[in-house]
Amino acid sequence: MGMRAVLTRILGIATVACALVATPAVASAETQVMPDGVNAEVLSLKQDGTKPVQITEPGSYVLKTAKGEVTPTSGYTIDAPDATRINPVRIYIDGTVYVNSYTNSSVGQNRWLFNIKQGSNIEFIGVNNPIISFHDERGGSQSVSGFLTDRYYDGGYKNASGDISVSLGIGDDSQDLTLWYSSSMEQKVPAISLGNTKGNLSANFSKLMIKDYAGKSGAVAGNAQEYAVPVHLFREGRNTTGGNINPFTATFTDCEFYDTSGDFNGAVSVDGNSSFKMPKDGSAVAKLTATFNNCSFSGHNGENAGVRQTNRSYNSVEASRYFANSSILNTYAVSGVMGVTNATVNLNSCEMSNFHSTRSSSADSTLTVDALNVARSARCNINGGTIERYGARGNTCVVYAAGTLTLNGSPEIASYWKNSHAGDTNYGDKYTEADKATGTAKSLYVPKKKSVDANVPALNIASDFSVRGGYGDNVWISIEETADSNGVKSRVLGTCESNKIEGVVPDGSSENDDNSDKYEVVNLNGDLTFRETIHQHKWKVEADGLGVRASCVGPFRNGECEYGMGEDGKPKKYLTATYKLSMSKATSSQSTELVYDGCPVKIALNKDGAWNLEQMGVTASDEFTWYQCKSQADAEAYKNGTKLKGAPTDAGYYYVVTSFKTASGQTLEGKKSFEISQRRLVKNQSYKFILKDGGKGAGKYAYDGKEHQPVVESAQFKNGAGEWVDLVEGKDYELSARSESGLKQTEPGQYECIVIGKGNFTTDGGTTSVLTLKWEIVDVARFDLEVTGFEGAYDGEKHGITVNVKNDPVPADMKIEYREDGGDWTTDKPTYRNAAEYTTCCRVTASGYLTAKGSATVKISKAGQDAPADLVGNNWTTCNSKDGSISGVTKKMEYRHEFSKKYQKITSSDKLTGLAKSGTYYVRYAEDNNHNASADAEVKIEPGSHAVADNAVWKPNGEGSHVKLCKYCKKEQERQPCRWKYEIVTPATPEADGVRQKVCRVCGGKWDEERYTYVDTYAPHHL
Ligand SMILES: [Zn+2]
Ligand SMILES: [Zn+2]
Ligand SMILES: [Zn+2]
């Protein structure tokens, strides 16, 4: 029957034409323009007998009750298969609608205001402060009825048909659409019950408020098909049908449950009903999803107020619906607010507060769940929001997670006050002494797994999970643990993407009030693990030299921590991360830590340092600044340092600075002064000294009478990197004699010298292991040598020295060599013929023999020679020819006149001519290179005879004689007295004397003129 027909037939209401929206379904029906402009048909409040009012056509309807009016006792059935998104079934709830309080004897048929049999796009829109009131205006008459269900009750249990989608919201600026019950009337069915359709089902509710709903199905147990809860979302099927496997999604946005209570849950039951052949792989869980966005579950703060589970016959975490041993019917998750069974629930930014479990008045050990119960095989994702309770009593928990609970967005799950104050009996549910004996209230309780859900994690924490309560209270989680083979009680709860779990203190033994040291929840490599407490280090870090050290101030059994505090309040031990400086191992006799090793000083964290740093949360900068100082005092005071480019190598005083950053951002400075001391240059495998080959091997010299000393061919040091590097004489070392005799030696023998370290090396500190080098002058055989010269007169023969090696036998490789002055050694012996003195050096060598040397002189004197013989003196031809000569001479001769002291060379052969002087000549062989001058041979040279020419005339000699002269030399040869006569020159006159002159009559010689007196001529007189 169509809606129009029903209304027309039953009510006969005149139709009010509406101009705005065509609502042609019932042309004659009363209509009303809604605030959103829709022209809605007013739903009839009258029914035909016990039959519900039928809504069969898509279209807009409005439900309202005027003063004194109530809804039909059998409510409304929506059976509108033609409803579409464009043409939905739209039902306005206009103002306060009073629900009929009549209790039909056939309660199963008429206890919902709206029954959906078929129809998608069914919209409930509240306007004008809409309230579905389950009591009359005066509050005296109260209805036992649900508001909405998809079960169609018509003579018994029936499935709804096809896909159903239903929504509820507000059409104007009203605050919400309230289902307002009377808390004094126990409801037998849910206010909203959805989930029976055969097809897909979706529900989308916003701004729905359910208030004062008090559900308790006990009155109809065994008869009714529902239990009483404000909202029941479920999937149902029978063993014979396999159930409905189509998805059901329900969304509640900005909805509020206030002072509601119910059979199993105080507000919502999400019931996947897994016993009905639902797949066990989790897909069934995904088929029923209920999402609550920004919803609130709360109430008055007081005993028996707020949201609570009221049917105390179901006082454990799970309850069989009707028959505890039923093989058909599932158990249900029992809790104060919401139970989730074989379904998925998302709680986004929801708030649960002022809720209560159904704890019986008498304390027992049975655990009850105050707010949220996620049953095995169910999933609940809590994203943000708050689930908190103050003053819970006894053995309760706020959230029970047997299925998978995933926490994200830092939700707060807390049970305050009574958690840690078991003795508080004054607040909330009045914690009794008996409660104290049965356990404390927990925030979260994770039970043991059962074998069937061994693979289902219980708890996932996908975000920071901080549940620290007010007043510094921790929030306790109680987890049933299993013991491993070592007896350590632990439980992997699920995955935890966050590393941060704060304020969560696992509940441990109820006997021990100080449970904080018993159990803990930790994030181990992403696994959230509940276990017996293991001490957690918390490091107090401080600078310590070139490093940091940390003591543990961490919780849980700090006194048992080796880094924790001892009884004296001081750390028993420090966790250290210290940079250690190192060089290769020093000699054992050197106590200094760092000894030059030819490589830069190495720096590294101490053993486990890196790990320790990681534990401490400290970051090392890994940057080091090195300084060199001139004195140890400066280095130790960290001052006057010269900054180095890198780690130092050479011996000296230094300090190094680095920094650490703690987890809290504090920077700690690490520094250390140190000394690199000289390395002892001693005898060990780090040094390799090789002496030069002295001809007989390294450091060995053949005795040669000369001074020798060891000379280093190569000196190497194996540095810290294991490389052999050259040592430099004078810089790194020097050689020193072992004894006073010095480094230089001449005599054959074995000697030692000492290598003295210099610069980066030292020999100080002891002599026992000083590095010595052995060297040797090797003795050799000697030659018995006699060297003789030669002395003799020139004889035309060659002469040389004589070297006589007397050794017998002489060595086979003996070699005799000679050397003239300025010459080279040669095996050709020099010989000499000419007179002179020659010195020849000689040496004799042979392997293994001391080279012998000698010298001798060849002295050749000049030979004598005989005086020349057979010389013939040739006189002058005349007395005055001066042409003397000597025959028989040679050019080898020389001569002198008897009056000359100097010999003159004879340059001509055979005849020496031109001897102008007469007399005796001495002629000898002249001295030459090889001869002395000979004795003289005397040769006389006489002048020739005078001769007077035949016609020679007498010539006066002026002395009264006249002479005849030699025709050659003009010398007088004959003399006669002149025979003179006077010759008158001037005749004397009587008057005057004349002049007369004697004149030789022979020679005509004249005397001087003489005066004479006149004398008669005749008177001659003669003289
Ligand atoms: Zn510790
Ligand atoms: Zn003469
Ligand atoms: Zn004369």
Kindly indicate the confidence band of residue 280, based on its pLDDT and cuts at 50, 70 and 90: low
Range from 86-90, 482-486, 652-656 carrying the lowest mean pLDDT? 482-486
3-state percent helix, strand, coil for the chain, nearest multiple of 5: 5, 45, 50
Mean pLDDT of 82-88: 92
Q: Which amino acid would we find at residue 669? A: E
User: Which is nearest to 250 in space by CA: 313, 213, 303, 203?
Assistant: 203
CA of 792 to the centre of ligand 3 (A): 75
For the cut 90, the answer to whether the pLDDT of residue 627 exceeds it is yes
CA 161 to chain centre: 71
Count other Cβ atoms within 10 Å, centred on residue 244. 26
Kindly indicate the confidence band of residue 920, based on its pLDDT and cuts at 50, 70 and 90: very high
In eight-state DSSP terms, residue 812 is T
Radius of gyration of the CA atoms of the chain, in A: 76
Mean pLDDT of 853-863: 93
Maximum distance among all Cα pairs of the chain, rounded to whole angstroms: 262
Q: Which pair of structure tokens corresponds to residue 645?
A: 């480019």
Q: Which pair of structure tokens corresponds to residue 222?
A: 């065994």
Question: What does the pLDDT read at residue 788?
Answer: 94
How much of the chain exceeds pLDDT 70, in percent? Answer: 78
Kindly indicate the confidence band of residue 202, based on its pLDDT and cuts at 50, 70 and 90: very high
Kindly indicate the confidence band of residue 451, based on its pLDDT and cuts at 50, 70 and 90: low
CA of 557 to the centre of ligand 1 (A): 8
Which ranges in 62-217 belong to alpha helices (H)?
107-110
For the cut 80, the answer to whether the pLDDT of residue 266 exceeds it is yes
pLDDT in tens, 292-346: 999 999 998 766 678 888 876 666 777 765 444 444 445 678 889 999 988 899 9
For the cut 90, the answer to whether the pLDDT of residue 128 exceeds it is yes
What residues are neighbours of ligand 1 (ion), with CB under 5 Å? Answer: 537, 552, 554, 561, 563
Question: What does the pLDDT read at residue 28?
Answer: 59
The structure's pTM equals 0.53
How far apart are the C-alpha atoms of 113 and 191, rounded to whole Å?
A: 9
What residues are neighbours of ligand 2 (ion), with CB under 5 Å? Answer: 879, 946, 966, 968-969, 971
Range from 182-186, 419-423, 1018-1022 carrying the lowest mean pLDDT? 419-423
Question: What does the pLDDT read at residue 323?
Answer: 42
Residues in the chain: 1023
Say if residues 489 and 477 touch (Cβ distance below 8 Å).
no
Q: Pick the ligand that lies closest to the CA of residue 943.
A: 2
Question: What does the pLDDT read at residue 237?
Answer: 53
Kindly indicate the confidence band of residue 1019, based on its pLDDT and cuts at 50, 70 and 90: low
CA of 537 to the centre of ligand 1 (A): 4
Range from 362-376, 387-401, 512-526, 923-937 that averages highest in pLDDT: 923-937
Kindly indicate the confidence band of residue 2, based on its pLDDT and cuts at 50, 70 and 90: very low
Question: What does the pLDDT read at residue 655?
Answer: 96
pLDDT in tens, 708-739: 999 999 999 998 888 999 999 999 999 988 77
pLDDT in tens, 360-380: 555 566 788 889 998 877 889
Peptide bond just before 35 cis, omega within 30 deg: no
Range from 147-151, 344-348, 386-390 that averages highest in pLDDT: 344-348
Distances (CA, A) of 270 to 344, 823, 841: 8, 128, 131
More confident residue, 941 or 183: 941
pLDDT in tens, 795-808: 999 999 999 999 98
For the cut 70, the answer to whether the pLDDT of residue 478 exceeds it is no
CA of 539 to the centre of ligand 1 (A): 7
Question: What does the pLDDT read at residue 593?
Answer: 77
pLDDT in tens, 573-599: 999 999 988 887 655 555 557 889 899
For the cut 90, the answer to whether the pLDDT of residue 657 exceeds it is yes
CA of 482 to the centre of ligand 1 (A): 25
Question: What does the pLDDT read at residue 419?
Answer: 44
Mean pLDDT of 456-474: 54
For the cut 80, the answer to whether the pLDDT of residue 949 exceeds it is yes
CA of 999 to the centre of ligand 3 (A): 8
Mean pLDDT of 49-55: 86
For the cut 70, the answer to whether the pLDDT of residue 1023 exceeds it is no
Question: What does the pLDDT read at residue 726?
Answer: 95
CA of 1016 to the centre of ligand 3 (A): 28
For the cut 50, the answer to whether the pLDDT of residue 906 exceeds it is yes
Find the helix or strand (DSSP H, E) in which 634 lies.
helix 632-637
Kindly indicate the confidence band of residue 141, based on its pLDDT and cuts at 50, 70 and 90: confident
CA of 1010 to the centre of ligand 3 (A): 18
Question: What does the pLDDT read at residue 7?
Answer: 33
CA of 944 to the centre of ligand 2 (A): 9
Question: What does the pLDDT read at residue 405?
Answer: 84
Question: What does the pLDDT read at residue 941?
Answer: 94
Question: What does the pLDDT read at residue 22?
Answer: 34
Q: Pick the ligand that lies closest to the CA of residue 961.
A: 3
